[in-house]
Amino acid sequence: MKAKLTLKDIKDLTIIAIGALVASFGVAVFLKPYGLIPGGVSGISLIITELTGLPVSATLIPANIVIFILGFKYLGSSTGTRSILGMLIYSFGLDFFIKTFPNKLTSDVILAILYAGAIQGFAYAMIYSAGGSTGGTDILALIANKYFDIPIGKFQLAFNTALATVNGIIFRSADKMLLTIFAFFVSSYSLDVALTGIHSTKTLLIISDHVEEISTFIMKEMRRGVTFIPIIGGYTGKQRTMLMTTVRKTQVPRVKRMIHNIDPEAFIMIFEPSEVWGHGFRIPETKR
Summarize pLDDT for 175-234 with one digit per residue, the tens. Answer: 889 999 998 888 888 887 776 665 578 899 999 999 999 999 999 888 889 999 999 988
Distance CA 182, CA 164 (A): 10
Rounded to two decimals, what is the model's pTM?
A: 0.69
260-263 contacts, C-beta under 8 A, 24 or more apart? 262/208, 262/210, 262/213, 262/214, 262/217, 263/208, 263/209, 263/210, 263/213, 263/214
* Three-state secondary-structure class, residue 201: strand
Radius of gyration of the chain (CA): 24
What is the CB-side half-sphere exposure of residue 28 using CA atoms within 13 A? 23
* Three-state secondary-structure class, residue 165: helix
Please name which of 23, 197, 36 lies closest in space to residue 124, comparing C-alpha atoms: 23
Q: What is the pLDDT of residue 79?
A: 55
Distance CA 195, CA 188 (A): 11
The CATH code that applies to domain 201-271 is: 3.30.70.120
CA 169 to chain centre: 28
- Percentage with pLDDT > 70 across the chain: 89
Distance CA 67, CA 133 (A): 13
Please name which of 36, 69, 30 lies closest in space to residue 171, comparing C-alpha atoms: 36
- Residue 288: CB atoms within 10 A of its CB come to 8
Q: What is the pLDDT of residue 73?
A: 79
Distances (CA, A) of 153 to 141, 144, 146: 8, 11, 13
Distance CA 18, CA 203 (A): 35
Domain map (residue ranges) of the chain: 7-196, 201-271
Q: What is the pLDDT of residue 249?
A: 79
Contacts with 67 (C-beta within 8 Å, 6 or more apart), sequence order = 41, 135, 136, 139, 140
Distance CA 243, CA 81 (A): 45
Q: What is the pLDDT of residue 1?
A: 45
Distance CA 88, CA 65 (A): 10
Please name which of 122, 56, 118, 120 lies closest in space to residue 88, comparing C-alpha atoms: 56
Q: Average pLDDT of 114-134?
A: 86
Q: What is the pLDDT of residue 204?
A: 94
- Percentage with pLDDT > 90 across the chain: 38
68-104 pLDDT, tens digit per residue, is: 888 777 766 655 677 888 889 999 999 999 999 988 8
Q: What is the pLDDT of residue 140?
A: 84
